[in-house]
Amino acid sequence: MFNDPQSIDSMLIDGAHAPTYPLIANQITEKFKIKKGTAIDVGAGPASLSVAMARITQLEIYAMDLSPEMLEIAQTSIKKEGLENRVKTRMGDVHQMPFQDEFADLVFSRGSMFFWKDLTTAFREIYRVLKPGGAGYIGGGFGSSAVRKKVKNQFKRKGSRSYKSPPKIHVDTLEIAVLEAGIDNYLLINDESGLWVLFKKQQNYTI
Ligand SMILES: C[S@@+](CC[C@H](N)C(=O)[O-])C[C@H]1O[C@@H](n2cnc3c(N)ncnc32)[C@H](O)[C@@H]1O
């Protein structure tokens, strides 16, 4: 199964995906310029994006995942990077997030939404935990076609299992879920960087 920790472990930690995270972290900070405060990484897996975000910001980040095995792996990576003070693991399901209303300045997530059972509930929860003025950057992909190619080539070169794409979500399905969740200030991206939805919990802001 694609979100089986055993398989994710080797896919996401053996370095093949490594160039993806700094690129996406840069894209998130470039877009929203949120570099301080509190952030949540939803479906953080081994916390690679949390770590990349912590390196270029002063954010306090909660790497949330529903898999205890993934959180254990995440904890090891965070410790290795010496980031325990700013990146904390938290067990939680996106459909019922263990955070109070208006908790976070930023919620980001890569590669997890494809496994969520109810996208509308998930986006409603993400929106609930965002502070007014907070932002969401949710989706999946490699950030650019160049990195995507690099990752796939590395898989081939290593002679390891060929790269498996996660299940797909149609862009219209994603947009319907976002609207049903009551998010009106959003931007959909569906290009070589992946499928992403960016939003602000703020009126009078052009995203
Ligand atoms: C493909 S991995 C992506 C991991 C990481 N974000 C990355 O890009 O390297 C998907 C992760 O989403 C987590 N996940 C799946 N459904 C979830 C849910 N309902 N709530 C929280 N995490 C979830 C899985 O346990 C898994 O760690």
Q: What is the CATH number of the domain that holds 32?
A: 3.40.50.150
- pLDDT score of 164: 66
Position 16 pLDDT exceeds 90:
no
For tokens 């019922």, name the residue: 96
Q: How far is it, in rounded angstroms, from Cα 27 to Cα 169?
A: 21
Total domains, the chain: 1
Beta strand pairing status for 104-110 and 130-140? parallel
Instruction: Decide if 128 is inside a domain.
Output: yes
| Helical H segments across 101-195, by residue range | 119-129, 145-158, 171-180
Residues of the chain with pLDDT > 70, as a percent, come to: 89
Q: How far is it, in rounded angstroms, from Cα 138 to Cα 144?
A: 16
pLDDT band at 157 (very low <50, low <70, confident <90, very high): confident
Q: How far is it, in rounded angstroms, from Cα 159 to Cα 14?
A: 13
Annotate 144-158 with three-state secondary structure: CHHHHHHHHHHHHHH
Q: Distance from the CA of 118 to the center of ligand 1, in angstroms?
A: 14
170-192 pLDDT, tens digit each: 999 999 999 999 999 999 999 99
Instruction: Decide if 82 is inside a domain.
Output: yes
- pLDDT score of 4: 55
* DSSP H or E run through 23: helix 20-32
Position 56 pLDDT exceeds 80:
yes
pTM of the full structure: 0.92
- Averaged over 165-173, what is the pLDDT? 88
Q: Distance from the CA of 115 to the center of ligand 1, in angstroms?
A: 7
Instruction: Decide if 207 is inside a domain.
Output: no
Question: What's the start-to-end Cα distance of the chain, in Å?
Answer: 36
- pLDDT score of 150: 85
Closest among 146, 156, 159, 152 to 193, alpha carbons compared = 146
Instruction: Decide if 194 is inside a domain.
Output: yes
- pLDDT score of 68: 97
Ligand 1 neighbours by CB, cut-off 6 Å: 3, 8, 12, 42-45, 48-49, 65-67, 70, 93-95, 110-112, 115-116
Instruction: Decide if 33 is inside a domain.
Output: yes
pLDDT, mean over the chain: 91
* DSSP H or E run through 40: strand 38-42
Domain that residue 139 falls in: 5-200
Q: How far is it, in rounded angstroms, from Cα 185 to Cα 207?
A: 7
- Answer yes or no: are the C-beta atoms of 176 and 12 closer than 8 Å: no
